[in-house]
Amino acid sequence: MTPEELGEITAKQEESERQFKHRLHVCTAAGCLSSGSDKVKAALEKEVKDRGLEHQCKVKGVGCMGLCANGPLVADKPSNVMYQNVTEDDAADIVKSLDTEPVARLECPTEMPFFRRQVKIVLENCGRVDPEQIEDYIAASGYEALVKALTEYSPGEVVEQVLRSGLRGRGGAGYPTGLKWGTVAKTDADKKYVVCNADEGDPGAFMDRSVLESDPHRVLEGMAIAGYAVDATQGYIYVRAEYPLAIKNLKTAIRQAEKLGLLGNNIFGTTHSFHIELRLGAGAFVCGEETALIASIEGKRGTPRPRPPFPAAEGLWGYPTLINNVETFANIPPILRNGGDWFARIGTEKSKGTKVFALAGRVLNTGLIEVPMGITLREIIFDIGGGVPDGRNFKAVQTGGPSGGCIPAEFLDMPVDYESLKKLGSIMGSGGMIVMDDTSCMVDVAKYFMEFCMSESCGKCVPCRVGTYQMHELLEKITAGKASAKDVLVLEELCDLVMNTSLCGLGQSSPNPVLSTLRYFRNEYLAHVDEKKCPSGVCQIHSGEEVTA
Amino acid sequence: MGTSFRKPVAPSADKRWKIVEASMRRLGNQSHALIEALHTVQEAFGFLDADSLRFVATSLRVPLSQAFGVATFYHYFTMKPPGRHTCVVCTGTACYIKGAGKLLTDMEKQYGIKPGETTADGNVSLLTARCLGACGLAPAVVFDGQVAGKVNSADMLAKAGRWGQ
């Protein structure tokens, strides 16, 4: 494969797309698939064939279009008419209307803020390219960044571009990606590895899954560039076994890229070689922690170990290892294509670029969104998300999953960036954003997350193994209306202890949901303790003789 | 020490062991193939048991205790045979906020089993998932591998009811 051949593929692909007057894009990512989009696609294909329109209209499976709540989604290109809640029975009407007025009853208003307010970098190809066709990705400037990196830049210059972009790790902690790359690049070793963390374990988060299902080549390209920058020839993607479609699309993508010589030995005739293999997770949240993830790739139980040494110095099988999250790698191709300075112009001073969020819970427009850093929570929830349905009142928004916190209404105008969210007692996290209304009890929510951390604790260190259990017991007691004021104090002490003495991030951040709800919703805790009442009516508190403990 | 390694014999003549052997061979029968091998066993047989763990451990030359440790550490692996039908209730945050707890209690009541258990006749297994990532469709339930979104109790019980006795 040469850069010229890449151009030829693009030209050919564009030519073949142009032959069709209409291209019907059907979302075949997991969200819409669960609502039956495979049947819709088959019905549309049949309808097109029955009407003899095969040469004018192409039915194409694409990735996530974002508005998962209203799936299955179908879009007509180039007219950009979008249909929602489509069923098999609608296929005839859609195909019939192609050259006339759109089918009004199915139309999805693409003018609404949900679509208009987003800025797409990571998701630029989602809903546009067919994830199972490498030519489609190439036609969308795919692998251009890899050509540029390999033929125009030295490895050091690639690291320099990433540094300039100001990109920070999208897995949650927000460590500057360029610095991490620089550290691994400078380490001298016979062998180095690049690992993509696709063990998206936060409940309520599906950003990485959507990227892997909708645009797998972008992640492969980002990893291959990273391999060149840090001088690694082998990459691993550690992906959740619970994501069968992402695994299938990744496998296809790797095979196609190898066939075209975009992965493998001597890419584009250079001396750079890079191979990627998949490793399946097996349902352990702690494996999102980098040292636990490494242990799991090595075929062991996923327990973390103390750092330092950091994986950048001693990682997989003892060799220097670069570990980044899916979304981080997905940002790399556009950064290389457009330059680090371009990326640094988007977002805030310390948080550059965009962030993908999985917006869910008590919000009208649930789905996948990408917004510039610095946007306010209010804009996300009320403009893009369309607010809280059923005339209910907004109570809190939870970010960062079990490691994050609940943010109340008074801080809705805070900008979304790493530092602001941390100041509020939450974290950016990987991108789960769950909206809660007045039907949710905040003590119950804290208990829910603590139950999660308790059962996901790997058991290696005592503070996490025993502390999360005890905190959960106390929260059980509070929600059952059997706790005293002293129990709340003990709970706070335990939070402090577990936070400061646990071995890894899972334990250290497990008190966050409790601390943030105690901070903003203390009155709810007090209602359970003093009045033996759950203000939201969620907790089953039995009055009478039981309330004596 | 120094004695040559003898390749273990598969627990039975079942052809599925060939698939398991192939998956281990693909990774050079090295110890890091353990999780991949267990995935293959579970995919082929539906669950892990003592025989399969012993076979995989010996083939990869890892202690049986390590294979058992890995099999029980990860939630995805199960050492109990699943029922003919499975109902997986997602208990992710979005589903929890939208009432997955009630779905779970209703299933428990209807079938008299707790999550992770199978009815006495081996017909229905009730399971939970940490998060299916179908948060836009919360609450979500997987019936025999088919994800269903925005599920309510009546739908769920009706669907499971059709699995017969």
Domains, chain A: 19-110 (3.40.30.10), 142-344 (3.40.50.11540), 354-437 (3.10.20.600), 442-530 (1.20.1440.230)
The pLDDT assigned to B135 comes to 85
Within a 10 A sphere around the Cβ of A513, how many other Cβ atoms? 30
Residues with Cβ < 8 Å from A13, sequence gap 6 or more? A135, A136, A138, A139
Q: How far apart are CA A225 and CA B68, in angstroms?
A: 38
Mean pLDDT to the nearest integer, B102-116: 95
Beta strands across the sheet bearing A193-198: A275-280, A234-239, A193-198, A321-325
Does position A549 have pLDDT exceeding 80, yes or no? no
Using the predicted structure, report yes or no on whether residue A274 has a pLDDT greater than 80: yes
The helix or strand, by DSSP H or E, that contains position A370, with its residue range, turns out to be strand A367-372
Q: Which two tokens stand for residue B113?
A: 């089993």
Chain B, nearest residue to A456 by Cα:
B75
Smallest Cβ distance to A436: which of B33, B36, B97? B97
Mean pLDDT score of chain A: 95
Report the first-to-last Cα separation within chain B, whole angstroms.
Answer: 56
- Are B95 and B152 in contact by the 8 Å Cβ rule? The answer is no
User: Do the strands A405-408 and A234-239 form a parallel or antiparallel pair, or are they unpaired?
Assistant: unpaired
* Contacts for A63 with CB less than 8 Å, ≥ 6 apart: A27, A28, A29, A125, A126, A127, A128, A129, A131, A210, A213, A214, A215
- Compute the nearest-CA separation of B156 from chain A (Å): 15
Question: Does residue A546 surpass a pLDDT of 80?
Answer: no
Contact of A276 with A297, CB cutoff 8 Å: no
Q: Tell me the CB-side half-sphere exposure of residue A480, using CA atoms within 13 A.
A: 14
> What's the gap between Cα A543 and its chain centre?
43
Alpha carbon B82 to its chain centroid, in Å, reads 8
pLDDT at res. B2: 54
Of A30, A398, A445, the CB nearest to B133: A30
Whole-complex ipTM: 0.92
> Cis omega before residue A334 (within 30°)?
no
Residue pair B159/B142 in contact (Cβ under 8 Å)? The answer is no
| A302 to B140: CB separation less than 8 angstroms, yes or no | no
Contact assessment for residue A224 and residue A274, using Cβ atoms and an 8 Å cutoff = yes
B130-157: pLDDT as tens digits: 888 888 889 999 999 888 899 999 999 9
A79, A84, A116, A118, A467 from A110: Cα distances, Å: 11, 11, 8, 12, 48
Average pLDDT for B35-64 = 96
Is A282 in Cβ contact with B39 (below 8 Å)?
yes
CA–CA dist A89, A111 (Å, integer):
26
Could you give phi then psi for residue A348, rounded to 5 degrees? -105, -175
For the segment A173-202, the average pLDDT, to the nearest whole number, is: 95
Residues of A in contact with B129 (CB under 8 A): 242
Domain ranges of chain B: 16-73, 85-161
Say whether domain B85-161 belongs to CATH 3.40.47.10.
no
| Residue A490 confidence class, pLDDT cut points 50, 70, 90 | very high
Using a CB-CB cut-off of 8 Å, the residues of chain B touching A441 are none
State the average pLDDT for chain B: 92
- Interface-testing mutation among B26, B31, B35, with chain A (most A C-beta atoms within 10 A): B35
pLDDT tens digits, one per residue of A88-98: 999 999 999 99
Residue A2's DSSP bridge partners are none
Cα distance between residue A287 and residue A197, in whole Å: 9
The chain B residues in contact with chain A (CB within 8 A) are: 30-36, 38-39, 60, 62, 66, 69-70, 73-77, 91-94, 96-98, 129-138, 140, 147-149
Using pLDDT thresholds of 50, 70 and 90, give the confidence band for residue A548. very low
Within 8 A of B48 by CB-CB distance, chain A residues are none
Q: Which residues pair with A435 in a beta bridge?
A: A361, A397
8 A C-beta contact, residue A391 and residue A418: no
**CA A326-A330-A335 angle, 5° bins:** 145
The helix (run of H) or strand (run of E) holding residue A324 is: strand A321-325
Does the pLDDT value for residue A87 go beyond 60? yes
Residues of chain B with pLDDT > 90, as a percent, come to 84
Average pLDDT of B34-57?
Answer: 96
3-state secondary structure of A509: helix
Closest alpha carbon to A516 in A462, A452, A454, A446: A446
pLDDT band with cut points at 50, 70 and 90 for residue A195: very high
Rounded Cα distance, A285 and A458, in Å? 9
Tell me the residue type at A451. Answer: E
Is residue A370 a contact partner of residue A385, using CB atoms and an 8 Å limit? no
Q: Rounded to whole angstroms, how far apart are CA atoms B23 and B11?
A: 16
> Would you call B137 and A361 a contact, using CB atoms and an 8 Å cutoff?
no
CB contact under 8 A, A242 and B75: no
Neighbours of A2 (CB within 10 A): 12
- How high is the pLDDT of residue A547? 42
Cα B38 from Cα A381, distance rounded (Å): 42
β-bridge mates for residue A371, sequence order: A355
Which residues make Cβ contacts (< 8 Å) with residue A391, sequence separation at least 6? none
Contact A204 B135 (CB under 8 A): yes
- The pTM (predicted TM-score) of the whole model is 0.95
Q: What is the mean pLDDT of residues A52-62?
A: 95
Quickly list DSSP for chain B.
--PPPPPPPPSSS-THHHHHHHHHHHTTT-GGGHHHHHHHHHHHHSS--HHHHHHHHHHHT--HHHHHHHHHHSTT--SS---SEEEEEE-SHHHHHTTHHHHHHHHHHHHT--TT-B-TTS-EEEEEES--S-GGG-S-EEETTEEE-S--HHHHHHHHHTT--
Mean pLDDT of the A469-487 span? 97
pLDDT computed for residue B45 by the predictor: 95
CB contact under 8 A, B135 and A35: no
Contact call for B133 and A243, based on CB within 8 A: yes
- pLDDT computed for residue B3 by the predictor: 63
Chain B residue numbers with beta carbons less than 8 Å from the beta carbon of A479 are none
Over residues A492-514, mean pLDDT: 97
Q: What is the dihedral of CA B98, B104, B106, B108, to 10 degrees?
A: -170
Banded model confidence at residue A81, pLDDT cuts 50, 70, 90: very high
Distance in angstroms (rounded) separating the CA atoms of residues A370 and B112: 44
Instruction: Decide: B140 and B151 in contact? Cβ < 8 Å.
Output: yes
**Both tokens of residue A21?**
């007057």
